[in-house]
Chains A and B, each alone.
Chain A
Amino acid sequence: MKFSKKVVSLLALLSVSALVLTGCGGASIGNSSSNSSKVTKKAKKDVKVGVSLSTLSNPFFVNLKKGIDTEAKKAGTKVETFDAQNDSAKQNNQISDLITKKVDVIIVNPVDSDAIVTSVKKANNAGIPVIACDRGSNGGKLLTTVASDNVLAGKMAGNYLEKLVGKNAKVAELEGTPGADAAVQRGKGFKQAAKGKLDIVTKQSANFDRAKGLSTMQNILQAHSDVKGVFAQNDEMALGAVKAIKSQDIKIVSVDGTPDGLAAVKKGNIDGIVAQEPKAEGRLALQAAYDHYANKKVSKNISSPIHLVKASDYK
């Protein structure tokens, strides 16, 4: 087969020449154009802010955006916001484009803490300060990271669930998107709290999604009809799980504090939520930007407040 040989050799040629080129001169990583000028003071209304959020199809991040926008409106600051639709590559492109636009500060809520590193470095090279929101970056220089402590949130949720269902009761865990930082950390905190105190019979991912939360919970109930409690890593999944559980006496605790979630706590559908305050988080991030351009010192980590909201408080 003549042509097949040809195709193989072409494919091989392409692969090999790619590698050969790697060794060529003039090669470098990153388009460096060092820029380490001192911070020139800027009034709040003169700070151009670029924002890239991991997704805007989740109320939490919509509220985060609201927090930024409300604060910005007060001061007359110009903010441009992009939705990365949970695609790391798309987020990198957005940040490149923000750099091209020469914004004064970039607030990023990374899709992934590893994948964001190259973009942070790029911004570093361009001399644009980067503020990470809700999730950190595993490399590059950040002005600050504004986040609530997800491990702590998971722990608080775990402790409260144990209080509700009793020691060594059987519980299920609805996990978020595999690999997402929030999922990993909340899971970690919950595990710490549950160790020796709760019997986690099953862990299933429902992708932080309400509809998946419903179907996944239905499946869990089929397999483990005897679970007494559920820890959902976010409110959306918890709200889905509520529909699956219906009247059964199963306690649900989740993390986030979205308006829907809090309303469900009020009604007693969800038993407890470790509530974050996305609006406060957004406000804090923007404040950090203002502080930077006011030549004030910005601390490396700013923690956004969390608190437990219990259904029992409303009874």
Chain B
Amino acid sequence: MNNTTETKAKGSFDFGKFISKLGPLVALIVLAIIVSVLNTSFLGINNIMNLLQQVSINALIAFGMQFVILTGGIDLSVGSILALSGAITAQLIVSGVSPIVAFLIGVACGAVFGALNGVLIAYGGAAPFIVTLATMSVYRGLTYVLTNGNPITGAKMNDSFSFQFLGQGYLFGIPFQVYLMVLGFAVFYVLMHKTTFGRKTFAIGGNEKAAFVAGVKTKHILIWIYVIAGFLAAVAGMVLTSQLGSAQPDAGTSYEMDAIAAVVLGGTSLAGGKGKMSGTLIGALIIGVLNNGMNLLGISSFFQQIVKGIVILVAVLLDRKQAKN
């Protein structure tokens, strides 16, 4: 429409604003209430711990995915990066490297894989969807090559306290990976909302050309954003490898979709430029409550997928409707 700016009213969308601010949180609470009414064990401390543990891997990946989506991009390769860096770490541990060193190498590798995505996107000028679709396949293939198609496991992994602790450990009764999720949230919340890096990320997503003209080194920022996505996927890979006690060659398959869903449920626009870190955490929790809750309610796995899809659709449609107002 022509020049709607003239006709736009101010201060009359309080309710809409309220919903857009709290929408995901309201959805989460409503969902939690429904599940806990139908099954009382949902709110048990053990189940809450289970739930948080189940959520943490997706949340970690989603934090990185959100940076990417804020720039208007997408990273389909995170699931493969998770598998590949997990396999590298497992291979190192099995061949005698200390788990802690192996973890550090694993996450560094994840960062490097992300950087490769970033370079191809920023300097190659190719669409993120295509680049990461391709590297998704490449990284997955490398994982199969590295593992020979077999899961990597061994006594060196399962006898090591520090290896097992990452994905199976408890600290004061709370799964260790939950601390990792909280820490990751805190660190990347600050990065996204309190630093110039975060501001430039939003600027690129809002209008890449305008950001460039305003002196933002768009290519550098883009590369770093894919580094973050790769890094966090690798951290999630470390957790998963430890949790399973083995590195599975097909680990993380389609995890990118859950991460994207968490980001979108959290209110981040796929067009970029708009979103909140807290929303993504809530989005991941919504998906977690859905999975956990439907298992508790004994809903068949087939129906679970349908319900999940519908919830995502409804959330996104509501968001669009709200945005149009």
In the complex, is A directly touching B at CB under 8 Å? yes
Interface pair B168/A29, CB less than 8 Å apart: yes
Interface segment, A84-92, A214-222, A291-299, A303-311? Answer: A84-92
Q: Is B96 positioned at the interface, with any CB of A under 8 Å from its CB?
A: no
User: Looking at the complex, which one of A30, A56, A101, A179 makes contact with B170 (CB distance below 8 Å)?
Assistant: A30
**A interface, size bucket:** 35 or more
CB pair A6–B291 under 8 Å, yes or no, is no
Q: Answer whether residue A192 sits at the interface, using C-beta atoms and an 8 A cutoff.
A: no
* Residues in chain A near residue B41, CB distance under 8 A: 100-102
| Contact A115–B107 (Cβ < 8 Å) | no
The reply to whether B158 and A88 form a contact with Cβ atoms under 8 Å apart is no
Question: Is A223 interfacial (CB 8 A cutoff)?
Answer: no
Output the least CB separation between B274 and chain A (Å). Answer: 21
Q: Which residues of B contact A114 (CB under 8 A)?
A: 151, 153, 244-246
Contact across chains for A4 and B292 when beta carbons are under 8 A apart:
no
Closest CB-CB distance, A100 to chain B, in whole Å? 4
Q: Which residues of B sit under 8 angstroms from A81, Cβ to Cβ?
A: 300-301
Q: Does A28 contact B (CB under 8 A)?
A: yes
Query: What does the 1/0 interface line of B281-325 toward A look like (CB < 8 Å)?
Result: 000000000011001101011100000000000000000000000
Q: Is the CB of A96 within 8 A of B54?
A: yes
Does any Cβ of A come within 8 Å of B191's Cβ?
yes
A97 proximal to B (CB < 8 A):
yes
Q: Please, what's the 1-or-0 string for B221-252, where 1 marks a CB less than 8 Å from any CB in chain A?
A: 10010011001000100001001111011110
**Stretch of A15-23, A241-249, A279-287 lying at the B interface:** A15-23
What 1/0 flags go to A159-199 for Cβ under 8 Å of B? 00000000000000000011100001000000000000000
Nearest CB in chain B to that of A91: its residue: B244
The reply to whether A11 and B231 form a contact with Cβ atoms under 8 Å apart is yes
Residues of A within 8 A of B244 (CB): 88-89, 92, 112, 114-115, 118
A13 neighbours in B (Cβ, 8 Å): 187
Mark each residue of chain B from 45 to 58: 1 if its CB lies under 8 Å from any CB of chain A, else 0: 01101100110010
- In the complex, how many angstroms separate the beta carbon of A54 from the nearest chain B beta carbon? 12
Task: Given A7-B191, A29-B161, A89-B244, check contact A21 B221 (CB 8 Å).
Answer: no
A1: B residues at CB distance < 8 A = 217, 220
User: A106-118 CB contact bits vs B (8 Å, 1 = yes)?
Assistant: 0000001011011
**Minimum-distance CB pairs A-B, first 5:** A178-B149, A83-B301, A115-B244, A97-B295, A114-B246
Chain A interface (Cβ within 8 Å of chain B)? Answer: 1-4, 6-7, 10-11, 13-15, 17-19, 21-22, 24, 26-31, 56, 80-83, 85-89, 92-94, 96-102, 112, 114-115, 117-118, 138-139, 177-179, 184, 205
What are 29 pairs between A and B in contact, CB < 8 Å? A3-B197, A3-B224, A4-B220, A4-B224, A7-B228, A10-B187, A13-B187, A15-B107, A19-B103, A21-B179, A82-B301, A88-B248, A89-B251, A93-B54, A93-B292, A96-B53, A97-B292, A99-B46, A100-B50, A100-B296, A101-B39, A101-B295, A112-B244, A114-B153, A138-B153, A139-B158, A178-B144, A179-B147, A179-B250
Beyond the given A11-B231, A93-B295, A138-B153, could you list 17 further A-B residue pairs with CB under 8 A, ordered by the A residue number?
Answer: A19-B100, A22-B100, A22-B169, A28-B170, A28-B171, A29-B165, A31-B49, A31-B175, A81-B300, A83-B300, A83-B302, A88-B251, A92-B244, A99-B50, A100-B46, A114-B244, A115-B245
